[in-house]
Structure 1
Amino acid sequence: MVQARGGVELDEVLAELVARRWEFREQRYVSKDFVAQLKRLGLYRVATPERFGGERMSPAEFLRRIERISVVDGSTGWVASFGSLPIYLGSLPLEAQEVLYADGPDVVLAGALHPAQRATPTERGFLVNGRWKFASGCMAADIICVGIPGDDALGRPRGALIRPERLQIVQDWDVVGMQGTGSFDVVAKDVEVDREWTFVRGGEPVIDEPLFRYPAIAYAAQSLSVVSAGVARAALDFAEEVGSGRASTTGAPKLADRGYYRAGIAEAEARLRSARAYFYEAADEAWEAVVAGGQVGEEQNAHLRLSAAYLARTCSEVVHQVVSLSGVVAIYRDHPLPALLGDALVPQEHAFLSPAMYDAAGAVLMGQPATIPAFR
C-alpha cells in the first residue's frame, strides 16, 4: 500500500475515484478538491527541485503510480501525470522558481503550448495575446504555461507562466475519450508577463539535479503513454472477469468457453505485458545513467521515445481487441468498454506519441539525426 504525506494512502484515493469518475467525465474535468488529494499523495512534488522541497522519485516509480490511477480512470491518470511537468521548467530563471515554490513544492502545472501565440516585447517582458488548445487540468492548476515564439539564437520556442486568474478558460472540451481531463482552451488578452517568468523550452537547466538531466520531452511522453497502460489493464481485467461468468444472451456458451475468446484475451495480455516491460526497462536504464552522474545518451533517449509510442499504440490495439471479442453487449452506451475504448484512443494521437516516433527512433538507432524536431 502506497502511503503519502499526511497519512493519505493511494488505495483510499482510488476508492474515492471509483465513486467519482463518472462525475468527472460528465463535468469534463477533475474537480479541484480531488486534485488536492493527488497533491497530498505527493504526485505534484516529484519533479519539483529538491532544493525547493521536492522529493526525489524515479520516473519508473512515478509512472507506476500514474498507471494505477489510470486503471480506475484514464482522465484522472492523465491529469495526475502532469506531476512530471515541472522538469520542463529547468531553464526558468532561479528567482522565478523561488517565487513559484515559495508556498511549498506541490505546484500543479498545466500547459497549453500550441499554437505559439503573439507576444509583443515590452520593457518588462512580453505582452501576450492569443488562444491555446488542450490545457489539460487547467481547472485545478496553480500555474499555466502558454507557448510564445522563441527569440534565442536557435529559434527555440518559449514558455510563459501565467496565473489562471489572468486567463480566460473556454470550456469547449467535447470528445469521445479522456472526457474528464478538462483539456479546455485558454485565452490571454493583453496579459503582460515579466521576462523572468518565461523560459526557453529545451534550454539549459539552471539546477543540476538528477531529474533535470533526464530528457524532459521523453518524460512527458512517458507520463501520457502510461495512462494507456492503465486503461488497457482495466479492459483486460473486465474481460477476464466477465468472460469467466456470463452466458450469451442467445444461449451460446459463455465467453470463457469459447476458444477464440480465450486465445484472443491471452494474446492481448501478452502484448500488454511485453510493451510494458520494454517501457519500464527503458525508463530504468535512463534513470540509472543520470543517478550515476551521467547523461542519457542519444540511443537511450530513442528507446524512451520509441517504447512510449509503442506502449500507447499497443494499448489502444489491446482495448480494441477486447471490444471486438466481447460481442454485441459492448455496443451499449452504458457498457464499460466503449468508455475504455475512447480513452485508449487518445494517448496514441498525441504528437509526442505519434507514428513519426518510429521513424525518428529508427534513424537515431542507425546513427542518423532524428527525423523530427524536439525529439530530445
Structure 2
Amino acid sequence: MQLKKAEVMNMHSDPDTIDSGLAGLAEMRSSLEPHIQEMEELCHLPQAVVDKLRQIGIFRMLAPRRFGGQEMGFPSALELIRRISTVDASIAWVAAINSSGCLILPKLPLASLERIYGSGPDQIIAGSAQAQGVGKRVAGGWQITGRWPLASGCMAAEWILTCFKEDQALDPVVSAALLPANECRIEQTWRAMGLRGTGSHHICLDDVFVADDFVFSISAPPLALDGPLYRQPAHLIALMHGAVQLGVAQAAVMDVMDLLRQGSLTDKEGRRELAQFELGVCHAKLKATESAFEQQVKSDWANALEMGPVDPLRLAATVQLGVFIARATLDIVRRCFELAGSIAVYEHSPLQRRLRDIQVATQHGLISRANFIAGGKALMETIDLDLRNSGIFDAR
C-alpha cells in the first residue's frame, strides 16, 4: 500500500501519543522501586513491569495504525525510551527492543499481519538478528533448527523472530522467520553483569515448521504496509541504543547531584572542587552528546518522511554516531561512579547498577568501534569529490 507524501506528513502529528506515554511513565517511576531488586534476581522483567509498559502503550507505539497501533514518529518514540532509561536501563532496553520488532513485519503478507495483530496492537516481539539457524525447504514452508543468543524480552514475548540460512545451499541468503513464542524453547542463560532485567536468554528451535507466509527476506521489498517507519527501520533501531544510553548517563549525573545536595561528597577538604570539576565535565559531555543525537534524529526523521530510498551514507553516519554515544555515555557514567567514591559500590546504590548496565549496553555489536570501518568505506565508495570541499560533514 503506497502512501502519498502529504498523507505521510500528516500521519505523525498527534501530540497526545507521547504525552499519554509520559504521563504513564511518571506513575510508573513511583511504582518501580520495589521491582528493581526482583529484576536483578529474576534476570527478566517481572510481569507487573511488563503490564505497566503495555498500559502506557510501549508495545503499540510503533505498530501500524491500520491494526490499532500508534505508528509514532522517530523523535517521540526515542524520547519515551530515553525517559524510561532514566528510571532503569533494563526496562528501557526491553521497551526499545520489543517495540521495534514490529518495524520489519510489514515485509510479511497482509494476511500474516492480520493474524499477528488479530488479538490487538500490543504485541511483544523478541528474537535475534543473528543467522544462527538452518532451514530445510519443505512443502509450504521451512523446517528450522537453531539456537540464538541475546533474545531480550523473550520471557514475555508473544512472537519470536529468528534468522536462518538454507541448509546446504551453495550461496545461502539470510531469511527471517516469525513464529508464536510458545513454539520456541528458552534456555535461561542470561546471567550477566548488567542489564540483568532484560532476560536476554538463548532461544531454540528443534526442527520446527514455519509456513512461507511467515518467512521473509529482511533486505528485500516490497512492503505490505508502506510508511516512513517501515521503509527505514535500521535507522530507528540504531538510534534506540543511543536513547537508552543517554538516559542512563543523564540518570547518573542526577544521582551525583543528589549526593551533592545531601552533602555526601563535600565533607572532605578539596572534595568540593573535585566534585564541581567532574560534574562540569560530565554535564558538558552529556549536553554535547544529546545535541548530536537530537540533530541526527531530526535529520533521519525528516529524510524518512520524504519517503525516499535508503541512503547508505546516512545509515553509516547514524551507526557511527551510535558508536560515539556509546563511548561518551560510558565515560560519563564511569566518572559519576568514581566521583561518588565508596558510596557507589554498595548494591543499594543506583550508580553501581547504572555502571554495570552501561558497560553491558555498549558491548552490543551494532555500536562496536568496528562500525567506523563501515562508515569510512561508505564515505569512500559514495563520495568521489575532495572531502574538504564536498560539504559532506555539513548538517543535512
| TM value normalised by structure 2 | 0.85
Q: CA deviation at 1:99?
A: 0.8
- Post-superposition Cα deviations, 1:70-118, rounded to whole Å, max 9, x if no partner, equal 1111000000012122112231222211111112211110012324212
Matched, 1:168 2:173: no
Amino acid at match of 1:37: K
- Give the number of aligned pairs: 364
Distance 1:228 1:268 in 2: 14
Match of 1:68 in 2: 83
Match of 1:374 in 2: none
Asked if structure 1 preserves the Cα contact closer than 8 Å seen for 2:50 and 2:156, the reply is: yes
Match of 1:211 in 2: 229
Q: What runs of 5+ residues in structure 2 fail to find an aligned partner?
A: 1-15, 384-396
Q: What runs of 5+ residues in structure 1 fail to find an aligned partner?
A: 370-376
- Post-superposition Cα deviations, 1:15-72, rounded to whole Å, max 9, x if no partner, equal 2223322211211111234222212222212222222222131112111111111111
Which of 328, 335, 351 pairs up with 2:342?
A: 328
Asked if structure 2 preserves the Cα contact closer than 8 Å seen for 1:31 and 1:139, the reply is: no
Distance 2:129 2:284 in 1: 36
Aligned to 2:332, the other structure's residue is in SS state helix
1:291 and 1:154, CA in 2 relative to 1: closer, same or farther beyond 3 A?
A: farther
| TM value normalised by structure 1 | 0.89
- Post-superposition Cα deviations, 1:135-164, rounded to whole Å, max 9, x if no partner, equal 110111110111111699985411111211
Q: CA deviation at 1:248?
A: 6.0
Matched, 1:294 2:289: no
- Post-superposition Cα deviations, 1:203-248, rounded to whole Å, max 9, x if no partner, equal 213322121122x223212212321111111111011120243346
- Post-superposition Cα deviations, 1:225-273, rounded to whole Å, max 9, x if no partner, equal 3211111111110111202433469x62484x2x222111111111112
Distance 1:246 1:15 in 2: 24
* 1:37-116 equivalences in 2 (<5 Å): 37-82=52-97, 83-116=99-132
Match of 2:138 in 1: 122
Match of 2:364 in 1: 350
Amino acid at match of 1:263: F
Distance 1:253 1:162 in 2: 62
Amino acid at match of 1:54: G
Match of 1:15 in 2: 30
Asked if structure 2 preserves the Cα contact closer than 8 Å seen for 1:247 and 1:253, the reply is: no
* 1:146-185 equivalences in 2 (<5 Å): 146-149=162-165, 155-185=172-202
Which deviates further from its counterpart, 293-302 or 268-277? 293-302
Matched, 1:361 2:379: no
Matched, 1:341 2:355: yes
- Post-superposition Cα deviations, 1:177-206, rounded to whole Å, max 9, x if no partner, equal 101000011111221111111111122133
1:344 and 1:286, CA in 2 relative to 1: closer, same or farther beyond 3 A?
A: same
Aligned to 1:161, the other structure's residue is in SS state strand
**Cα RMSD between the aligned structures?**
2.5
